[in-house]
């Protein structure tokens, strides 16, 4: 890692960063909790291999714009305290968390609230949807995924259907005695409906 020299000793402080000496002798640069933190006052973690999470933001003016793809992968939450209240009403209902009680927990140290009940998280990417009035809504394909999907759908692989390959019967197969009796009984009995055979086999 390259080392840069600077005569500006306040550069980290102006960025809201702190510098500490780590126990192993290395240097630790971090941004403490607070209003200046790039993640805002609250963060919502969920398991994923990309270290993506949902979070508050001090840059609240972005929510007034139609274009929202300013983040670096994580997702900004417009009303994080109400969002937390709703999530906790399902995940930890006995704690009776509210937006106000969550705000009162804020301070100079990190506090973690674990969910007693896990809530599944599904992230989807949609450029077309039907709104409540039944009208088709289209959005810009900012990641270029629609073109890739269309190319796959129109590709040559889609023009060939899967052909079922008939396999010969296994010569080593021997039905169990009980199964054989059921087969014989079904063969001797009259089949009054298309499902009678299955009823005899699996009753």
Instruction: Give me the residues paired with residue 18 across strands.
Output: 30
Any catalytic annotation for residue 118? no
DSSP state at residue 165: P
SS3 breakdown of the chain: % helix, strand, coil, rounded to 5?
Answer: 30, 10, 60
Q: Which of 55, 61, 97, 185 is catalytic?
A: 55
Rg (CA), the chain: 30
Catalytic-role residue among 61, 72, 74, 97: 74
Q: Is 122 a residue of the active site?
A: no
- Write out the two tokens for 21: 């000496």
Place of tokens 């039944």: 134
Q: DSSP letter at 157?
A: G
Q: Are strands 54-55 and 18-21 parallel, antiparallel or unpaired?
A: unpaired
- Rounded CA-CA distance 132/118 in Å is 29
Most distant CA pair in the chain: distance in Å? 98
Name the residues annotated as catalytic: 55, 74
């Amino acid at each position: 890692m390259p080392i840069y020299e600077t005569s500006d000793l306040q550069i980290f402080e102006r960025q809201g960063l702190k510098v500490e000496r780590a126990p192993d002798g290395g240097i630790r640069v971090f941004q403490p909790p607070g209003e200046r933190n790039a993640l805002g006052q609250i963060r919502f973690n969920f398991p994923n291999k990309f270290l993506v999470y949902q979070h508050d933001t001090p840059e609240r003016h972005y929510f007034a714009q139609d274009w929202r793809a300013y983040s670096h992968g994580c997702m900004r939450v417009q009303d994080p305290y109400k969002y937390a209240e709703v999530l906790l009403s399902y995940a930890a209902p006995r704690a009776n968390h509210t937006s106000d009680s969550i705000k009162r927990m804020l301070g100079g140290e990190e506090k973690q609230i674990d969910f007693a009940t896990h809530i599944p998280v599904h992230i989807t990417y949609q450029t077309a949807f039907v709104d409540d009035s039944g009208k088709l809504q289209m959005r810009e394909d900012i990641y270029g995924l629609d073109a890739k999907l269309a190319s796959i759908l129109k590709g040559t692989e889609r023009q060939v259907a899967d052909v079922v390959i008939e396999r010969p019967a296994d010569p080593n197969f021997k039905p169990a005695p009980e199964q054989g009796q059921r087969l014989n009984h079904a063969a001797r009995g009259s089949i009054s409906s298309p499902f009678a055979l299955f009823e005899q086999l699996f009753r």
